[in-house]
Amino acid sequence: MSSTVYDFSATSIEGQPVEMSTYRDKVLLIVNTASQCGYTPQYKGLQELQDKYASKGFAVLGFPCNQFGQQEPGSASDIQSFCETRYGVSFPLFQKVDVKGTNAHPLFDYLQKALDVDAIQWNFAKYLVDGNGNVVKRYESGTQPQDIAKDIEALVK
């Protein structure tokens, strides 16, 4: 099993490979997202966290997922355009991934196993990762981004 989040890579929404080690020393909030979900308005709160803590070494990473209710049916460009125009999202977005099951992206498989938690049940599950790449906590879909601020503040510089 990999030792930290930094041992993984993903593909950006623009189609470029991204090593998670790019985010070394940053506190991360890794989120499986969807554009047509009841929790979609959380994009606004996620962007607010990004704006508030980016200067302190924090980043939100959004991973669109179509596994739950087919709530992310669009193409990468559709997703990116929706997030930017509707919610002003400027944090990094990645290509659509599965977050559970046999085709789960290895990063999400690792996140789940690192905390020994059940598989993600819906869109907008959030994983908090410390500046050393260690998974600290998972928040379920209903947890509002602003409710995570205290935990972020405890980890940022």
> Of 20, 28, 37, 61, which residue is the catalytic one?
37
* CA dist 106 → 33, 52, 72, 138, 142 (Å): 17, 29, 20, 17, 24
- Which residue type sits at 82? F
The DSSP element (H or E) to which 44 belongs, if any, is: helix 42-53
Strand partners, 135: 129
Q: How far apart are CA 151 and CA 19, in angstroms?
A: 25
Catalytic residue status for 37: yes
DSSP 25: T
Catalytic residue numbers, as ranges: 37
